[in-house]
Structure 1
């Protein structure tokens, strides 16, 4: 049957999500999409919407693991990291409330896992995801491609952990 892994690309305007099933024959996309939030709403209302929408996705699919991108802070834009921290915190809370394990990955790790290059651009990640999952078209918008990439990292991590546990 396989294990379900949910990858989430946090955002206050658009949050991407993807649910993959692992199997002996590879990874299969079960669901993928975006939750869009009105940027004119106050921050706290967008956070409530993130919790509501992602809680529904998690309740529907019941993944074993939620994989999320770690925060990245650039000295020129510290406010962005602080605001993204709010969205990421709500996502971690939504998963934890449902008893779902959360795994975090640096953006450079995710890109390196898929493309071999930790500094790959959005288009390179989209093409790598398309190829790895055998998709007919590029995953759009890029938030979906990012969520699929994050889920793929979570699935690889989970597969490795299951292999280690099987040898014990």
Structure 2
């Protein structure tokens, strides 16, 4: 996703939810430079059918993907809550977002709330007010994005822009190490096979000499 850090990279951050689904698009450039492109919250009525609510979220996400054309989508990972119904609704909304992105071949990455808080504020235990304040400051917004779902969506996009290059470098380093290990293992196997062949040749040579 980050082949050239000299150009802008656009990420759609999504704070999934049935009642309120936060959407935020952020451009990231060199270093930690970030710019807000758009932010909003999709709302669905609590008394509507589940399928209807999910369809409304899906339509909104599709519209944002068409209009803003992000290169990646960052979604908040569902974590354990006491309210199982809320967790299920959040997971269902997140699944709809991931499906829409996957249909377009866009990479989808799920970030935990603590990852997002740590990336934006420096503390994985920051509260919503601290996250909103830092998002407002980092993006140089004239006013704080409201409700908190909107700020969280922007925070997700910022988190992805800042963390993903590190993840990609780590993945590349791990793959290179794995390749080196495989190559070393293959050399050892080849050397062992060569030693066995030479030993067999020496044995056969000794037998022929005794004859």
TM-score, length-normalised on structure 2? 0.73
Deviations 1:27-73 (A, max 9, x none): 11111111111221011100011111111101111111100000011
Is the 8 Å Cα contact of residues 20 and 43 (structure 2) preserved in structure 1? yes
Q: CA RMSD in A?
A: 2.1
Deviations 1:65-96 (A, max 9, x none): 1000000112x322221222111111110111
Which aligned segments of 4 or more residues in structure 1 are displaced greater than 6 angstroms? 162-165
Q: Which one has a bigger Cα radius of gyration? A: 2
Give runs of aligned pairs for residues 80-119 of structure 1, distance below 5 A: 80-119=86-125
* 3-state SS in 1 of match to 2:141: coil
Paired positions, count: 167
Instruction: Give the structure with the larger helix fraction.
Output: 2
Unaligned runs of 5+ in 1: none
Is the 8 Å Cα contact of residues 121 and 134 (structure 2) preserved in structure 1? yes
Are 1:70 and 2:77 an aligned pair?
Answer: yes
Unaligned runs of 5+ in 2: 1-6, 177-211
Is the 8 Å Cα contact of residues 132 and 151 (structure 2) preserved in structure 1? yes
1:53 maps to what in 2? 60
Instruction: Give the structure with the larger strand fraction.
Output: 1
Q: How far apart, in 2, do the equivalents of 1:8 and 1:106 lie?
A: 12
Are 1:29 and 2:36 an aligned pair?
Answer: yes
Q: Relative contact order (C-alpha < 8 Å, sep 6+): which is higher?
A: 1
TM-score, length-normalised on structure 1? 0.90
Q: How far apart, in 1, do the equivalents of 2:30 and 2:136 lie?
A: 19
